[in-house]
Structure 1
């Protein structure tokens, strides 16, 4: 079993309840990555639904308290089961506290697998051998962000100036992305990929943990095997918060997922 599948595994624990274990390897700055938590919820929702609705289509999550490594419960409430889609509410709970509250629509992306059309310009990245690997991060950073060992990111040098103390100020990050074990991405893992890169505020000269308030992900297609191309961008900082828009493109050149999140600015 690939590491990703082990870390997101859920088991039935009563009517509409699933047990999970949030893994310390997905920690960043003392908390558990929000996208990883959302993927765990996604696995529970998939397990609660019939086989004809295996894929997340639209998922919105509100982050109420920081997740911690250890046992968790996902409570799933199917609000509507239709012919092609199901709408579900789900909470990820630890020690009596709701970590994230989720409303999601699931369906079957296989119904129109080849119908992916967009006018959005694709993420253009240099060849991987010319990009900057997250494996080059200093040991002290890897210690406080062990999730960096869960995947490989190869940053476009044009958006990696923040790593050398020279952020561009444009508010954009772009990278090649793949999970460890050469495990190909699927629709559930895209929920994590949308929150995997460093906060886009790094490119604004504002490093540090940026707590997510709300994250919405739209999944458009099952990704083709191989590397993903991921871009994060922000256009607005106001009231101590910023938005972060993400696009995820697969190896076949398709826009397979988009997301927007609202997050607090890092405190430095």
Structure 2
């Protein structure tokens, strides 16, 4: 059992000139939802393998990740098989499969490049442009109130968060965000928080972004009980089927303007229904001006913050009994 930075651990195992390189490790038992490893955490293992695979090249930064979760993973040894699909001047396309018990559990296609500013580059939307996207959280981390986590997450002691009450209010039945027969578009639910890794030596890394992008309150859980159709969030498992991450910028070094182990998360969900309670999520990962309970809420503090990554995913809504059953089925078999 380890903090996230230690739990995302892979080791290269094989000849240096192999066409397909194999990285190995063990899924940490604490980074699970119920009995099954968190989808973002196991994707982080695959991303970390690819980061190490690319570290000696000119294309060291993950730019885009597309992951398909073919089977549930288990708390057991794994290997990530990585190979280059195409290497170009600006980007390298890499394929990586996370394998357990000789079965491909997650298959990914990643694009690597450089997130450093390019000489002569033109364009881009950033403040002070009035068209630029701004940090979508209302409350500064220094004054944000820590909120409880009610999901069946075994990694709760390694993270803490402070939900944004202004965003939460937008989900109320009497909010102006609700729709009626005269509404054009609209609908859906929103959620946001400051999330901090609790270990004092923790740092936000490209691989950990995958975990952060899969750690939020989704649309079915945000709905009022009257709209859930009997669904009880604490008794429901929301397995990820697909997860797509686009890395917008390099993670800044810790400073007076940017926290080392805290990020802002903003999520929206619009659709939910059959089959299997399928629902969509869109999420943004932002820099934070300070750790929770630290820093100063002063005018203009949002101007220095920027989006690190965006993510979209498709997930299901299944009873937690399915979660336990999958874990039992995938448990490593004794050789005795």
TM-score (norm 1): 0.86
User: Distance in 2 between the 1:265 and 1:116 partners?
Assistant: 38
After TM superposition, where is structure 1 displaced by more than 3 Å over at least 4 residues in a row? Answer: 111-116, 127-132, 158-161
- The gaps in structure 1 that reach 5 residues or longer are none
- In 1, distance between residues paired with 2:318 and 2:163? 21
Q: CA deviation at 1:160?
A: 5.5
Change (3 A) 1:53 1:177: same
Tell me whether 1:238 sits opposite 2:273 in the alignment. yes
Deviations 1:148-181 (A, max 9, x none): 22222211134558xxxx9x88522210012222
Distance 1:52 1:263 in 2: 35
- Tell me how many residue pairs correspond in the alignment: 259
Aligned to 1:41: 46
Distance 2:284 2:98 in 1: 25
Match among 172, 177, 200 for residue 219 of structure 2:
200
Shift of 1:189: 1.7
Larger radius of gyration, structure 1 or 2? 2
Contact 1:89 1:102 (8 Å CA) reproduced? yes
Q: 1:238 to 1:184 in 2, by over 3 A?
A: same
Tell me how far apart the structure 1 counterparts of residues 57 and 5 of structure 2 sit (CA, whole Å): 18
Q: Distance in 1 between matches of 2:144 and 2:221?
A: 18
Paired residues of 1:91 and 1:99 also in contact (CA < 8 A): yes
Does the Cα contact within 8 Å between 2:219 and 2:270 map onto a contact in 1?
A: no
Report if the CA contact (8 A) 2:79-2:99 is conserved.
yes
Tell me how large the CA RMSD over aligned residues is. 2.8
Q: Which residue of 2 aligns with 1:77?
A: 83
| Residue number in structure 2 paired with 1:173 | 191
Measured in 1, the distance between the counterparts of 2:149 and 2:313 equals: 25
Higher strand share: 1
How big is the shift at 1:69? 1.2
State the SS of the aligned residue for 1:24: coil
Report which of the two has the higher share of helix: 1
Cα deviation digits, residues 195-228 of structure 1 (max 9, x gap): 1123332102451221111010000111233131
Quote the Cα distance in structure 1 between the aligned partners of 2:107 and 2:266: 26
Match of 1:153 in 2: 161
Q: Distance in 2 between matches of 1:247 and 1:194?
A: 8
Deviation per CA, 1:206-258, whole angstroms, max 9, x where unpaired? 51221111010000111233131101111112333111000111133111110
Mapped to 1, the partners of 2:83 and 2:58 lie a distance apart of 17
What TM-score does the superposition give when structure 2 sets the normalisation length?
0.69
Q: Could you tell me which residue of structure 2 aligns to residue 264 of structure 1?
A: 316
